Structure 1
Amino acid sequence: MPRNDGPGRENPPHDGFEEDLGAVLRRTGEGFAGDRRELVEGGVRRGRRRLVRRRAAVTGGVLALAAVGVGGVYGGSLLGSAGPAATTSVAAPPKPTGTGPETRPPDEARIPVKDLAAVLRAHTPAGRWEIEDEGGEGQFVLGVYDDGAGKAAVSVSLSRSSGPGEAGEAMVTCPDEAHVPDAECTTETLPGVGRLLLFQGYEYPDKREKTKTWRATLLTEDGFLVDASEYNAPAQKGARVSRDTPPFTPAQLKALVTADAWKPLLAGLPALPQGSTPPSAPDEPSADALRATLRSLLPEGLEVKDEGGQDGYGYVVVDDGGGRSFVEINVQTGMRDVAGHLTSTGATTLPDGRLVGVVQEAAEKGGTGVVSWTVDTVTPEGFRVVVTALNSDGYRAPATRSEPALTVERLKTIALSPKWRKPVD
């Protein structure tokens, strides 16, 4: 994935949306047996709740969070499969169907949608708009745009970062190529304005549908997020592609999210709840700490060729001389609800009460001949460590060897190591 970090790049310690992703999360890359997709996505919602306080984002999102596993950090767009529609937030319950005070989430802004739509119309090329719920209130606007070349779903959401340099930085950090191939992503610092991300990729990184998603996200210097997404179809998912590319160029998306007209609307966003846990809380070790710990647990003879990740998640690409192998680790707290699932799928219970599940299977999202070996562990108090190895150097890449570079027993040793309680700095 071409990367151009532009002027002012601060070189953050992690390179990971989806997703999506995942973003978009996402929390093992391939998950576990049975209902592993739901299990993974549930972990993403809980683990990223502190990272992206977005009241109007959909699980799965612009980088297909569920598709990119835990590596993507992006909340999604706001468009449902049948056209612009309210869906489920990465950081909040589903948007209510009504707009009255009895159904509106207590922390959602009451900005007139018509005001949001007015800014959207004024800062995009001339065309016909169909705006959803234009008489309602909220902090996002959903619409279908048609310039005569085909209908395109478009959304803009306004939100607050959970704090300077915290959730907002994740939203304006390009995803790892290992999770989101065939995409272009750039970031730059705009003096006096903020940090800007521009992304051009596909709704599904494996391209099982031809829907393209382009995105611009601005983190302002005073901690607000303006996030715009567009598609080359009248809906984010499930709609026939209507044009070759989304309607607005990256330069036009940049002009849209950086428009001064958003400022008075951003001022109407409610303050974040007091006492919320910041994303830098010690229950999610940093990407640097995770990768350092993972490297310390690798057997001799493995050379680390690449690495990446984000807080709570890390990966390395290793080679023992027999081909590259992708290995990822995810560390979570508050995951006691996973225990029942692991038990039902045949996990072993250790004397200290920890559950250990093992799955060896064809990688659900892998390339040709790719297999995934996963060890999923959780303690009685909900401390979860999941490690996965592939016989390829990334998701959706073809197999580079017959088996992953790490055996299942080695994966167990890594996942059960006490080092995860205090990862290496």
Structure 2
Amino acid sequence: MPQNEETQPFEEELGAVLRSAGDGFSADDRRELIAGGLQRGRRRLVRRRLAVTGGVLALAAVGIGGVYGGSLLGPEGPATTASVAAPPVTGAADGTPGKWKFVPVLPVEDLAAVLKANTPAGQWQFDNLDGKGESVTGVYDDGHGKAGVSVGLFRAGDSPEAGVDQVTCPDRVVVRYDRCASQRLPGGDRLMILQGYEYADRSEETKNWRAVLLTKDGFLVDANEYNAPAEKGAAITREDPPFSGTQLKALVTAEGWRPLLKQLAAQPKPDPVPNPLPAVPSAAAVQATLRSLLPKGATVVSHGGDDGHGYVVVDDGKGKSLVGVDVQPDAGKAVAELFTGAGVVTLPDGTKVRATQQPGEKGGAGVVWWSVDTLSPQGFRVGVSAFNAGAQHEAATRAEPALTMEQLKALALSPKWRKLPLK
């Protein structure tokens, strides 16, 4: 927290923040949420990256803004101003029957006015004040160093569950952060406040503190702040971002956002958009199969994942070891080039196997990364990774992963993966 401000332990402060939050606010219009919302967009991003990275565990290199949600400050913003990454789209019809053109609807100057009115006094620089959009970004200076700040207002998605992942504290195995608190508020809204980092491997000490409110009517108010003028590519200017947890809570729950959310709610419903995502096994199915294929003596101490991928942290008495698997039934041509060249073995049935042993890449001291990636002639891909630590960004707990390369190969080639139902 800012050094010139009286502080209390983060957990105590967040407890007070969450307890004191009232009914929040709601938008009057309860239309169905637009197709292609945040949750589906996040999964699409993850699955697209899986097609070229070789595993969801590789995504842990991405900070909170990448694998978890998505911040609004762009990576290429200059050091004096923050830039805007593309937010979830909303908009109005273009007048063509059956066609919809998504255009920004909120005046950026109105968003900036609410942001300024609900933060401590300081100097602000904003971009695109004459434009329209669903987010505002700026640089705030309270005399203790410039800080990038953004707030976005979005429809959460196209289902009652959409947006819940945005207000659920991320898994520490995948995302590195210091503190997080999440809770359903008395009026039905949900709030998350998180203190984390832009880079999971701490290659740069850019901090990302975030507050997200999910209203009971399916809208998100997402605020991000940094201890640098921009999310990426800017020098650190202060020890911490400027606003405390209490101040972030006051910002995202401010009444000033209500009329702007009503404008979003009043936009007409677009035509349904076909879901282009390939079918994958459910998270539960992947988890159960992974656990059934572990060697004897590997006790599972934690687990997690999402549709198409999962992980376990095992301990065989010699230290924790992270083991993850990704299942892509229709990887196809997207990953074919990963299975060419030296080190790739083709089995009698045509399945290609690529095995690698390399140092970890996420900042954990002494971490090694062992992986076996397989691709069948029909395009069915299973990749398995194991580490000699309970998380990639933590220090090694043992000399080698708990599973040998042969065990990883057997796990990846198990016929059980091809029998899983898809969703």
TM-score, scaled relative to structure 2? 0.77
1:394 is aligned to: 391
In 1, the alpha carbon distance for the partners of 2:288 and 2:363 equals 26
**Structure 1 segments unaligned to the other structure (5+ residues):** 8-21, 45-58, 66-71, 93-104
In 1, the alpha carbon distance for the partners of 2:168 and 2:328 equals 21
> Does 133-142 or 178-187 show the bigger shift?
178-187
1:56 is aligned to: none
Q: Quick one: which of 302, 308, 326 aligns to 1:312?
A: 308
Instruction: Quote the offset at 1:381 in angstroms.
Output: 5.0
2:222 is aligned to: 227
Q: Quick one: which of 347, 353, 356 aligns to 1:356?
A: 353
Instruction: Quote the offset at 1:368 in angstroms.
Output: 2.1
> Whose Rg is larger?
2
**What amino acid does structure 2 have at the position aligned with 1:223?**
G
Q: Is 1:161–2:156 an aligned residue pair?
A: yes
2:253 is aligned to: 258
**What amino acid does structure 2 have at the position aligned with 1:323?**
G
In 2, the alpha carbon distance for the partners of 1:390 and 1:303 equals 15
Distance 1:388 1:299, change over 3 A: same
2:322 is aligned to: 326
Q: Quick one: which of 324, 340, 360 aligns to 1:343?
A: 340
In 1, the alpha carbon distance for the partners of 2:110 and 2:188 equals 22
Distance 1:389 1:25, change over 3 A: farther
1:412 is aligned to: 409
**What amino acid does structure 1 have at the position aligned with 2:64?**
L
Q: Is the 8 A contact 2:357 2:371 kept in 1?
A: yes
Q: Is the 8 A contact 2:61 2:199 kept in 1?
A: no
1:63 is aligned to: 64
Instruction: Quote the offset at 1:25 in angstroms.
Output: 7.5
Q: Is the 8 A contact 1:23 1:63 kept in 2?
A: no
Distance 1:350 1:267, change over 3 A: farther
Q: Is the 8 A contact 1:284 1:312 kept in 2?
A: yes
1:53 is aligned to: none
Distance 1:283 1:24, change over 3 A: closer
Q: How does 1:164-203 map to 2 (within 5 A)?
A: 164-203=159-198
Q: Deviations over 1:339-377 (max 9, x none)?
A: 123225643344554432221111111422211011222
Q: Is the 8 A contact 1:24 1:76 kept in 2?
A: no
Greater fraction helix: 2
Q: How does 1:11-410 map to 2 (within 5 A)?
A: 63=64, 65=66, 72-81=67-76, 82=78, 83-87=81-85, 106-269=101-264, 271=269, 274-277=272-275, 283-336=279-332, 337-344=334-341, 346-380=343-377, 382-410=379-407
In 2, the alpha carbon distance for the partners of 1:76 and 1:353 equals 42
Q: Deviations over 1:23-78 (max 9, x none)?
A: 9985799x89xxx65x669x97xxxxxxxxxxxxxx9875153xxxxxx4322332
What is the SS of the residue equivalent to 1:253? Answer: helix
Q: Is the 8 A contact 2:115 2:251 kept in 1?
A: yes
Instruction: Quote the offset at 1:283 in angstroms.
Output: 2.5
Instruction: Quote the offset at 1:378 in angstroms.
Output: 3.3
Distance 1:123 1:332, change over 3 A: farther
In 1, the alpha carbon distance for the partners of 2:45 and 2:363 equals 17
Q: Deviations over 1:219-260 (max 9, x none)?
A: 111111111100011011121111121111111111211223
Instruction: Quote the offset at 1:406 in angstroms.
Output: 0.9
What is the SS of the residue equivalent to 1:84? Answer: coil
Distance 1:167 1:418, change over 3 A: farther
Distance 1:354 1:228, change over 3 A: farther
> Does 334-343 or 198-207 show the bigger shift?
334-343
What is the SS of the residue equivalent to 2:217? Answer: coil
Identity across matched positions, percent? 49
Distance 1:107 1:413, change over 3 A: farther
Q: Deviations over 1:204-223 (max 9, x none)?
A: 13222121110011111111
Alpha-carbon RMSD across the aligned residues, in angstroms, is 3.5
What is the SS of the residue equivalent to 2:327? Answer: strand
In 2, the alpha carbon distance for the partners of 1:107 and 1:130 equals 27
What is the SS of the residue equivalent to 1:307? Answer: strand
What is the SS of the residue equivalent to 1:404? Answer: coil
In 2, the alpha carbon distance for the partners of 1:379 and 1:170 equals 33
Instruction: Quote the offset at 1:108 in angstroms.
Output: 4.3
Instruction: Quote the offset at 1:119 in angstroms.
Output: 1.6
**What amino acid does structure 1 have at the position aligned with 2:221?**
V
**What amino acid does structure 1 have at the position aligned with 2:116?**
R
> Does 263-272 or 295-304 show the bigger shift?
263-272
Q: Is the 8 A contact 2:55 2:383 kept in 1?
A: no
**What amino acid does structure 2 have at the position aligned with 1:162?**
G
**Structure 2 segments unaligned to the other structure (5+ residues):** 1-9, 20-41, 90-99
**What amino acid does structure 1 have at the position aligned with 2:193?**
L
In 1, the alpha carbon distance for the partners of 2:105 and 2:221 equals 16
Distance 1:85 1:187, change over 3 A: same
**What amino acid does structure 2 have at the position aligned with 1:416?**
L
Distance 1:401 1:62, change over 3 A: closer
Q: Give the aligned length.
A: 370
